[in-house]
Structure 1
């Protein structure tokens, strides 16, 4: 069993590029085995590097598409060149709690464009997501986004209140919310999330990184800065 594990780890090492191979270049099977046994602390770092490389590869396949907002579904500067993508759900507590962090990033960076991808994965969230797309279509996305999160978990009454606060034309909004265009957008966002192997909300694309979960504004800013 132990030998099988060591062999698997050696195979994992062989699959790495860059620093991982550099550290073990020129070593045979037995030498690699001995090195791993004597230095087990490098394995988590190598695994993390491998996972990061895999995530970057997945993002590279769709990076331009995922950063292209549904018309109007943007916070901050719609013409900004620094782009943060947020996959969000109005029924998600951590999505709600992340709102101040995103607002702080926007306040600190006038060039920041936040592309919001509606990804309703919680029960009862899809109606709110559809109304958010209708708000985007009317140019009132930011107002609805903030008002909807202030309502707590989505409910028919809460969605109605958020729509009223945002000043939506309700007849037009309800028609758009039930349109094929809204359905297609939600399906697209689901496909993006699956390609990026996101497991929940909030999830982020910041620069060249994919990040899952609620993280500090500083972590997102660091990822954006590292992308140049």
Structure 2
């Protein structure tokens, strides 16, 4: 839908005042512009994709290294990996749950892959799970809690506690840390980063100088990882 709206706006722009200004550089008039677009409609999706990539690159440049700098311990895969995939996730998100095996597949296929998880609770009841996940990271048990929480299903207090017990957390220490200023700052920062990057839902991804949104599948994520590798 977003791309359709963009293409509609692009046609209007190129065919209207903006188009006259743009195409005057080549000496083409409005009617010639229209004729060219009708004769070459395939150029519009290409222009839309190029524009989206340009905007994505600009937003990533604006946030800098903040998006790839992990909360201590909130990492899957190789913590010292040389290639980074960032996932904005929510334990109440069905698409995040279906993406979990894809991430595991990518980790197995890419020994140097570091997956930085940004806890972004946007669904009702998810914030408690996100806070407990960061508490698990503090105790060095992030992966165990992360996987257990998705197995439990949509988060509620009982399921969060069950996942914490399954991960072997010190529950008293975890509960105290979950409401600490450090966790407050991390969740607020993740929300701000998601907003800056133009994300509207989970899962959302950053890799190889590009952003992806949704359960895009392991093939698309692998292509982004390959781009990050420079291969």
TM-score (norm 1): 0.89
Q: Who is 1:180 aligned against? A: 181
Distance 1:182 1:73 in 2: 12
Q: Does residue 9 of structure 1 match 2:10?
A: no
The 3-state SS of whatever aligns with 1:225 is helix
1:32 CA drift (Å): 3.0
Distance 2:223 2:73 in 1: 26
Does the CA-based 8 Å contact 2:90-2:96 persist in structure 1? yes
Distance 1:27 1:51 in 2: 27
The 3-state SS of whatever aligns with 2:26 is coil
1:42 CA drift (Å): 1.5
Q: Who is 1:18 aligned against? A: none
Distance 2:88 2:19 in 1: 31
1:37 CA drift (Å): 3.0
Does the CA-based 8 Å contact 2:119-2:190 persist in structure 1? yes
The 3-state SS of whatever aligns with 1:153 is coil
Q: Who is 1:28 aligned against? A: 28
**After superposition, what is the alpha-carbon deviation per residue over 1:197-219, rounded to whole angstroms, capped at 9, x for unaligned?**
00100000011110000011111
1:56 CA drift (Å): 1.2
Does the CA-based 8 Å contact 2:20-2:29 persist in structure 1? no
1:12 CA drift (Å): 6.5
Q: Pick closer, same or farther for the CA change 1:73–1:14 going to 2, 3 Å.
A: farther
1:13 CA drift (Å): 9.8
Q: Does residue 91 of structure 1 match 2:92?
A: yes
Q: Who is 2:5 aligned against? A: none
Distance 2:25 2:97 in 1: 47
Q: Who is 1:62 aligned against? A: 63
Q: Which runs of 5 or more residues in structure 1 are unaligned?
A: 16-20
TM-score (norm 2): 0.88
Q: Which runs of 5 or more residues in structure 2 are unaligned?
A: 1-8
Distance 1:69 1:201 in 2: 18
**After superposition, what is the alpha-carbon deviation per residue over 1:65-84, rounded to whole angstroms, capped at 9, x for unaligned?**
10000000000000101100
1:27 CA drift (Å): 4.2
**After superposition, what is the alpha-carbon deviation per residue over 1:136-177, rounded to whole angstroms, capped at 9, x for unaligned?**
011110000000000000011111111011111111100110
